[in-house]
């Protein structure tokens, strides 16, 4: 199954995502942001980095890149779209996911390992995990504080659209375990249909033992597996 | 057509966590400016726009704000347009 990785000027995790998909058994290919077609891809990843220098607001300019029309249409048709870190910011700016990522509460760039709790496993992104499993993976961002208005937050919780929450080693989503001031310790959410996901931490930087964690690999295996099943069906 | 300088002020919504504002508020307090009750930090964007009237220039800037310059989820904006040469 072909997985398109969108590359913007300033993307810097496109190669991490490429390697992740390869290790998960999929066929990754890069799609430059000036292109207008996903070339028949079965899923799309918007990787981390600093697309267009993050000028104005992270993702604000990237969302108008030519390829984004195809990404939006693909997502609306039910195609699997993943935004990691800067990719999450792009998908929020594009209106494919609700809310926004604000400057970290601490005002400093956060770059360290964090822990995440898997909130549900009945999704195309998390079927390779156990419910409430605690994952370790890096995060690396200045603007990762998830914000949405109270009404939107209530809908996200009610519809169980939070897939990952920052937590401590015991799996408690405590204030101390919150690295950036995200409301409700939210680290990753999906859209109403469940086919578009955004997350700030980097599963793509936790795929081999040499990186200090392999907890991100099941994330990519879940996606490759789900897309493969769809192809057979 | 006249050239207008359009000033767009983009500010975080009141009540939204604004860590920059908080940090500056803290600094002002430590300098003894106790009268300051709240600080919020936004940004100013200046556009040079050719338009028939100031209303026209403002309208265009408003469209730009809705589309790109401000995030409707987290930010408010305010627009003023001055014909070039009339600004103080």
CATH number at residue A105: 3.40.50.880
- Minimum distance, in Å, between the CA of residue B31 and any CA atom of chain A: 21
| Alpha-carbon distance A182 to nearest alpha carbon in chain B (angstroms) | 10
Pick from A57, A98, A107: CB nearest B20 = A107
Cα–Cα distances in Å, from A175 out to A116, A166, A183?
A: 13, 9, 10
pLDDT (0 to 100) of residue B15: 83
Q: Which of A5, A97, A72, A85 is nearest to A43 (CA)?
A: A5
- pLDDT-above-90 percentage for chain B: 88
CATH number of the domain at B29, please: 3.30.1280.10
**Per DSSP, what are the bridge partners of residue A53?**
none
DSSP H or E stretch at residue A156:
helix A150-158
User: Across-strand partners of A199?
Assistant: A84, A188
Which residues in chain A are contacts of B71 at CB distance < 8 A? Answer: 57, 60, 93, 100
Domain residue limits at B30 = 2-83
Is B25 a domain residue?
yes
pLDDT in tens, A73-96: 999 999 999 999 999 999 999 999
Chain A residues in contact with B69 (beta carbon < 8 A):
56
The pLDDT of B10-15, averaged and rounded, is 91
Give the distance from residue B15's alpha carbon to the nearest chain A alpha carbon, in angstroms: 11
Local confidence band at B85 (pLDDT 50, 70, 90 cut-offs): low
Split into its structural domains, chain B has a count of: 1
State the smallest CA–CA distance between residue B66 and chain A in angstroms.
12
Distance, in angstroms, between A62 CA and closest chain B CA? Answer: 11
Mean pLDDT (whole number) for A208-219: 97
Whether residue B56 is contained in a domain is answered as yes
DSSP readout, chain B?
-EEEEEEEEEEEPTTS--HHHHHHHHHHHHTT-TT-------EEEEEEEEESSHHHHHHHHHHHIIIIIS-TTTEEEEEEEEETT---
Contacts of A175 in chain B (CB under 8 A): none
Give the residue on A whose Cα is nearest the Cα of B68.
A60
Answer yes or no: is B60 within a domain: yes
Q: Which of A100, A105, A149 lies nearest to residue B19, judging by beta carbons?
A: A105
Q: Which residues of A touch B73 (CB under 8 A)?
A: 92, 98-100, 147-149
- pLDDT value at position B88? 45
- In this structure, is residue B15 part of a structural domain? yes
Q: Give ipTM to 2 decimals.
A: 0.86
From the list A69, A87, A89, A21, the residue with the least C-alpha distance to A227 is: A21
Q: What is the pLDDT of residues B26-52, one digit of tens each?
A: 999 999 999 999 999 999 999 999 999
Q: Count up the domains in chain A and report the number.
A: 1
Average pLDDT estimate for A97-115: 96
Identify the closest residue of chain A to B74 by CA–CA distance: A100
The DSSP secondary structure of A8-57, one letter per residue, reads -TTB-SHHHHHHHHHHTT-EEEEEETT----TT-SEEEE--B-GGGG-SS
Mean pLDDT, range B64-87, rounded to an integer: 90
Query: From the candidates A54, A60, A102, A181, which should be mutated to test the interface with B, based on the most B CB atoms within 10 A?
Result: A102
Residue A222 lies in domain: 2-232
């Amino acid at each position: 199954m072909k997985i398109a990785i969108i590359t913007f000027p300033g993307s810097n995790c496109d190669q991490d995502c490429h390697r992740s998909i390869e290790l998960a058994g999929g066929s990754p290919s890069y799609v430059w942001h000036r292109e207008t077609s996903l070339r028949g891809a079965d899923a799309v990843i918007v990787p981390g980095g600093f697309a267009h220098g993050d000028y104005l607001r992270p993702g604000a300019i990237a969302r108008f890149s030519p390829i984004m029309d195809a990404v939006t249409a693909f997502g609306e048709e039910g195609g699997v779209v993943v935004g990691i870190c800067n990719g999450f910011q792009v998908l929020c700016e594009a209106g494919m996911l609700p809310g926004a990522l604000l400057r970290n509460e601490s005002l400093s760039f956060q770059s360290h390992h964090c822990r995440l709790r898997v909130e549900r496993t009945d999704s195309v992104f998390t079927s390779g995990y156990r419910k409430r499993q605690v994952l370790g993976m890096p995060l690396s961002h200045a603007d990762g504080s998830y914000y949405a208005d109270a009404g939107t937050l209530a809908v996200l919780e009610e519809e169980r659209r939070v897939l990952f929450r920052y937590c401590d080693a015991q799996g408690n989503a405590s204030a101390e375990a919150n690295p950036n001031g995200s409301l409700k310790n939210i680290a990753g959410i999906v859209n109403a249909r469940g086919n578009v996901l955004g997350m700030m931490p980097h599963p793509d930087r936790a795929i081999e033992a040499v990186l200090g964690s392999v907890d991100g690999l099941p994330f990519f295996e879940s996606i490759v597996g789900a897309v493969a099943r769809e192809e057979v069906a | 057509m006249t050239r207008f300088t359009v000033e767009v002020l983009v500010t975080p919504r009141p009540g939204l966590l604004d860590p920059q504002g908080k940090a500056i508020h803290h600094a002002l307090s430590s300098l003894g400016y106790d009268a300051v009750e709240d600080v919020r930090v936004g940004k100013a964007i200046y556009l040079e726009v050719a338009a028939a009237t100031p209303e026209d220039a403002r309208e265009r800037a408003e469209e730009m704000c809705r589309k790109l310059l401000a995030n409707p989820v987290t930010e408010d904006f305010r627009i003023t347009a001055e014909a070039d040469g009339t600004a103080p």
